[in-house]
Structure 1
Protein backbone atom coordinates (compact mmCIF):
# COMPACT_ATOMS: atom_id res chain seq x y z
CA UNK A 1 0.00 0.00 0.00
CA UNK A 2 0.86 3.63 -0.34
CA UNK A 3 -0.19 6.44 2.04
CA UNK A 4 -0.54 9.92 0.55
CA UNK A 5 -1.48 13.03 2.52
CA UNK A 6 -3.03 16.10 0.91
CA UNK A 7 -3.08 19.38 2.84
CA UNK A 8 -4.88 22.70 2.54
CA UNK A 9 -3.14 25.91 3.55
CA UNK A 10 -4.29 29.48 4.01
CA UNK A 11 -1.75 32.24 4.59
CA UNK A 12 0.97 29.60 5.16
CA UNK A 13 -1.14 27.97 7.89
CA UNK A 14 -2.34 24.37 7.71
CA UNK A 15 -6.15 24.38 7.72
CA UNK A 16 -7.03 20.90 6.47
CA UNK A 17 -5.75 17.43 5.70
CA UNK A 18 -6.97 14.24 4.04
CA UNK A 19 -5.16 10.92 3.69
CA UNK A 20 -5.50 8.34 0.95
CA UNK A 21 -4.21 4.82 1.39
CA UNK A 22 -3.86 3.12 -2.00
CA UNK A 23 -4.29 -0.63 -1.85
CA UNK A 24 -3.25 -2.81 -4.79
CA UNK A 25 -5.73 -5.36 -5.99
CA UNK A 26 -4.76 -8.92 -6.67
CA UNK A 27 -3.94 -9.02 -10.41
CA UNK A 28 -6.58 -10.43 -12.71
CA UNK A 29 -6.61 -11.09 -16.46
CA UNK A 30 -8.77 -7.99 -16.97
CA UNK A 31 -6.80 -5.34 -15.07
CA UNK A 32 -3.32 -5.85 -13.68
CA UNK A 33 -2.76 -2.34 -12.29
CA UNK A 34 -6.07 -1.85 -10.50
CA UNK A 35 -6.30 -0.56 -6.94
CA UNK A 36 -8.77 0.86 -4.48
CA UNK A 37 -8.35 3.73 -2.05
CA UNK A 38 -9.18 4.11 1.61
CA UNK A 39 -9.95 7.71 2.61
CA UNK A 40 -9.00 8.53 6.21
CA UNK A 41 -7.70 11.21 8.59
CA UNK A 42 -9.93 13.94 7.15
CA UNK A 43 -9.85 17.16 9.15
CA UNK A 44 -10.60 20.83 8.49
CA UNK A 45 -10.12 23.45 11.20
CA UNK A 46 -13.53 24.36 12.65
CA UNK A 47 -13.28 28.02 11.63
CA UNK A 48 -12.58 26.98 8.01
CA UNK A 49 -15.42 24.48 7.64
CA UNK A 50 -18.39 24.95 5.30
CA UNK A 51 -16.25 26.93 2.84
CA UNK A 52 -15.42 24.14 0.38
CA UNK A 53 -12.04 23.18 1.88
CA UNK A 54 -13.05 19.57 2.55
CA UNK A 55 -14.62 19.27 -0.90
CA UNK A 56 -11.46 20.53 -2.58
CA UNK A 57 -9.34 18.09 -0.58
CA UNK A 58 -11.66 15.26 -1.58
CA UNK A 59 -11.42 16.38 -5.22
CA UNK A 60 -7.61 16.03 -5.02
CA UNK A 61 -8.08 12.50 -3.66
CA UNK A 62 -10.51 11.61 -6.47
CA UNK A 63 -8.19 13.02 -9.16
CA UNK A 64 -5.17 11.22 -7.73
CA UNK A 65 -7.15 7.99 -7.52
CA UNK A 66 -8.25 8.19 -11.16
CA UNK A 67 -4.68 8.94 -12.26
CA UNK A 68 -3.54 5.82 -10.39
CA UNK A 69 -6.22 3.60 -11.95
CA UNK A 70 -8.16 3.07 -8.75
CA UNK A 71 -11.58 1.55 -9.21
CA UNK A 72 -13.22 2.77 -6.02
CA UNK A 73 -12.79 4.76 -2.83
CA UNK A 74 -13.94 3.57 0.60
CA UNK A 75 -14.53 5.64 3.74
CA UNK A 76 -15.89 4.85 7.22
CA UNK A 77 -17.52 8.21 7.99
CA UNK A 78 -18.37 9.58 11.38
CA UNK A 79 -22.00 10.44 12.02
CA UNK A 80 -21.16 14.13 11.50
CA UNK A 81 -19.31 13.59 8.20
CA UNK A 82 -21.80 11.11 6.72
CA UNK A 83 -23.80 13.80 4.80
CA UNK A 84 -20.55 15.29 3.40
CA UNK A 85 -19.59 11.99 1.77
CA UNK A 86 -23.13 11.30 0.55
CA UNK A 87 -23.15 14.71 -1.19
CA UNK A 88 -19.81 13.78 -2.80
CA UNK A 89 -21.38 10.68 -4.36
CA UNK A 90 -20.38 7.96 -1.89
CA UNK A 91 -22.99 5.26 -1.39
CA UNK A 92 -23.72 2.60 1.20
CA UNK A 93 -24.77 -0.84 0.07
CA UNK A 94 -26.81 -1.71 3.15
CA UNK A 95 -26.94 0.18 6.43
CA UNK A 96 -25.75 3.59 7.51
CA UNK A 97 -23.09 1.98 9.71
CA UNK A 98 -21.46 0.30 6.69
CA UNK A 99 -18.59 1.98 4.87
CA UNK A 100 -19.44 4.33 2.02
CA UNK A 101 -18.10 3.52 -1.43
CA UNK A 102 -17.50 5.72 -4.47
CA UNK A 103 -16.93 3.96 -7.79
CA UNK A 104 -14.60 6.09 -9.90
Structure 2
Protein backbone atom coordinates (compact mmCIF):
# COMPACT_ATOMS: atom_id res chain seq x y z
CA UNK A 1 0.00 0.00 0.00
CA UNK A 2 1.12 3.52 -0.80
CA UNK A 3 -0.29 6.61 0.91
CA UNK A 4 0.55 9.93 -0.66
CA UNK A 5 -0.66 13.48 -1.05
CA UNK A 6 -3.11 13.66 -3.90
CA UNK A 7 -2.58 16.10 -6.76
CA UNK A 8 -4.76 17.70 -9.41
CA UNK A 9 -4.20 14.55 -11.47
CA UNK A 10 -6.24 12.68 -8.83
CA UNK A 11 -9.33 14.93 -8.95
CA UNK A 12 -11.46 12.41 -10.86
CA UNK A 13 -10.87 9.61 -8.36
CA UNK A 14 -11.31 11.97 -5.40
CA UNK A 15 -14.64 13.05 -6.92
CA UNK A 16 -15.67 9.45 -7.51
CA UNK A 17 -14.92 8.52 -3.89
CA UNK A 18 -17.05 11.47 -2.74
CA UNK A 19 -19.90 10.51 -5.06
CA UNK A 20 -19.61 13.68 -7.14
CA UNK A 21 -21.71 13.46 -10.31
CA UNK A 22 -19.85 13.63 -13.64
CA UNK A 23 -21.50 16.91 -14.61
CA UNK A 24 -20.07 18.50 -11.43
CA UNK A 25 -16.52 17.19 -11.94
CA UNK A 26 -15.15 20.42 -13.41
CA UNK A 27 -16.59 22.54 -10.58
CA UNK A 28 -15.23 20.03 -8.04
CA UNK A 29 -11.80 20.16 -9.68
CA UNK A 30 -11.91 23.95 -9.62
CA UNK A 31 -12.77 23.84 -5.91
CA UNK A 32 -9.90 21.43 -5.17
CA UNK A 33 -7.46 23.68 -7.04
CA UNK A 34 -8.75 26.86 -5.35
CA UNK A 35 -8.38 25.26 -1.89
CA UNK A 36 -5.03 23.53 -2.46
CA UNK A 37 -3.35 25.51 0.33
CA UNK A 38 -5.98 24.73 2.96
CA UNK A 39 -7.54 21.36 2.07
CA UNK A 40 -4.89 18.67 1.66
CA UNK A 41 -6.09 15.39 0.16
CA UNK A 42 -4.28 12.12 0.84
CA UNK A 43 -4.96 8.90 -1.05
CA UNK A 44 -4.18 5.25 -0.41
CA UNK A 45 -3.31 3.02 -3.35
CA UNK A 46 -3.08 -0.75 -3.64
CA UNK A 47 -1.88 -2.39 -6.84
CA UNK A 48 -2.16 0.92 -8.66
CA UNK A 49 -5.79 1.54 -7.63
CA UNK A 50 -6.99 4.25 -5.27
CA UNK A 51 -8.77 2.49 -2.41
CA UNK A 52 -9.20 5.33 0.06
CA UNK A 53 -8.82 9.02 0.71
CA UNK A 54 -8.83 11.51 3.58
CA UNK A 55 -8.49 15.27 3.78
CA UNK A 56 -6.68 17.55 6.21
CA UNK A 57 -8.08 21.07 6.49
CA UNK A 58 -5.35 23.43 7.68
CA UNK A 59 -6.57 26.72 9.13
CA UNK A 60 -5.32 29.47 11.37
CA UNK A 61 -6.89 30.58 14.63
CA UNK A 62 -6.98 34.21 15.69
CA UNK A 63 -3.59 35.19 17.15
CA UNK A 64 -3.23 35.43 20.91
CA UNK A 65 -0.77 37.24 23.14
CA UNK A 66 1.06 33.93 23.66
CA UNK A 67 1.27 33.08 19.95
CA UNK A 68 0.65 34.90 16.70
CA UNK A 69 1.04 31.64 14.76
CA UNK A 70 -1.88 29.35 15.72
CA UNK A 71 -2.46 26.78 12.98
CA UNK A 72 -4.71 23.75 13.52
CA UNK A 73 -6.11 20.92 11.44
CA UNK A 74 -9.41 19.17 10.90
CA UNK A 75 -9.80 15.73 9.35
CA UNK A 76 -12.51 15.54 6.73
CA UNK A 77 -14.05 13.07 4.30
CA UNK A 78 -12.23 9.89 5.28
CA UNK A 79 -13.33 7.12 2.95
CA UNK A 80 -12.11 3.60 2.27
CA UNK A 81 -13.77 1.50 -0.38
CA UNK A 82 -15.96 -1.07 1.34
CA UNK A 83 -14.18 -4.09 -0.11
CA UNK A 84 -10.84 -2.77 1.29
CA UNK A 85 -11.96 -1.96 4.82
CA UNK A 86 -10.36 -3.59 7.88
CA UNK A 87 -6.97 -3.82 6.18
CA UNK A 88 -5.27 -0.90 7.90
CA UNK A 89 -5.91 1.57 5.08
CA UNK A 90 -7.73 4.10 7.27
CA UNK A 91 -4.96 3.86 9.84
CA UNK A 92 -2.34 4.45 7.16
CA UNK A 93 -4.24 7.52 5.94
CA UNK A 94 -4.43 8.82 9.53
CA UNK A 95 -0.71 8.22 10.04
CA UNK A 96 0.09 10.25 6.92
CA UNK A 97 -2.21 13.08 7.94
CA UNK A 98 -0.89 13.21 11.51
CA UNK A 99 2.69 13.19 10.20
CA UNK A 100 1.76 16.19 8.04
CA UNK A 101 0.21 17.87 11.10
CA UNK A 102 3.40 17.33 13.11
CA UNK A 103 5.58 18.57 10.24
CA UNK A 104 3.49 21.75 10.01
CA UNK A 105 3.54 22.22 13.79
CA UNK A 106 -0.25 22.29 14.10
CA UNK A 107 -1.61 23.01 17.59
CA UNK A 108 -4.15 20.20 17.35
CA UNK A 109 -6.23 18.21 14.89
CA UNK A 110 -9.97 17.74 15.26
CA UNK A 111 -12.39 15.36 13.61
CA UNK A 112 -16.18 15.36 13.45
CA UNK A 113 -17.01 11.67 13.42
CA UNK A 114 -20.04 9.55 12.93
CA UNK A 115 -20.69 7.10 15.77
CA UNK A 116 -19.41 4.09 13.84
CA UNK A 117 -15.97 5.65 13.40
CA UNK A 118 -15.37 6.97 16.94
CA UNK A 119 -13.44 3.87 18.03
CA UNK A 120 -11.28 4.13 14.90
CA UNK A 121 -10.24 7.68 15.82
CA UNK A 122 -9.66 6.74 19.46
CA UNK A 123 -7.33 3.94 18.28
CA UNK A 124 -5.47 6.53 16.20
CA UNK A 125 -4.68 8.81 19.12
CA UNK A 126 -7.72 11.08 19.26
CA UNK A 127 -9.59 11.63 22.50
CA UNK A 128 -12.90 13.07 23.56
CA UNK A 129 -12.67 16.73 24.47
CA UNK A 130 -15.03 18.52 26.81
CA UNK A 131 -14.73 21.96 25.18
CA UNK A 132 -16.05 21.23 21.70
CA UNK A 133 -19.55 22.61 21.25
CA UNK A 134 -21.67 22.71 18.10
CA UNK A 135 -24.20 25.22 16.80
CA UNK A 136 -26.42 24.44 13.82
CA UNK A 137 -28.94 26.80 12.28
CA UNK A 138 -32.53 25.92 13.03
CA UNK A 139 -35.72 26.98 11.32
CA UNK A 140 -36.04 30.74 11.00
- Residue aligning to 1:89: 125
Gaps of 5+ in 2: 1-36, 135-140
Counterparts of 1:42-57 in structure 2 under 5 Å? 42-57=78-93
Question: Normalising by the residue count of structure 2, what TM-score does the alignment of the two structures yield?
Answer: 0.63
- Residue aligning to 2:72: 36
Does the CA-based 8 Å contact 1:34-1:69 persist in structure 2? no
Report the structure number with the largest CA radius of gyration: 2
The structure that is strand-richer by fraction is 1
Counterparts of 1:1-104 in structure 2 under 5 Å? 2-94=38-130
Gaps of 5+ in 1: 100-104
Structure 1 vs Structure 2 CA RMSD? 2.0
In structure 2, C-alpha distance between the alignment counterparts of 1:29 and 1:87, rounded to whole Å:
34
The number of aligned residues is: 97
Choose between structure 1 and 2 for higher RCO, CA contacts under 8 A separated by at least 6 residues: 1
Question: Normalising by the residue count of structure 1, what TM-score does the alignment of the two structures yield?
Answer: 0.83
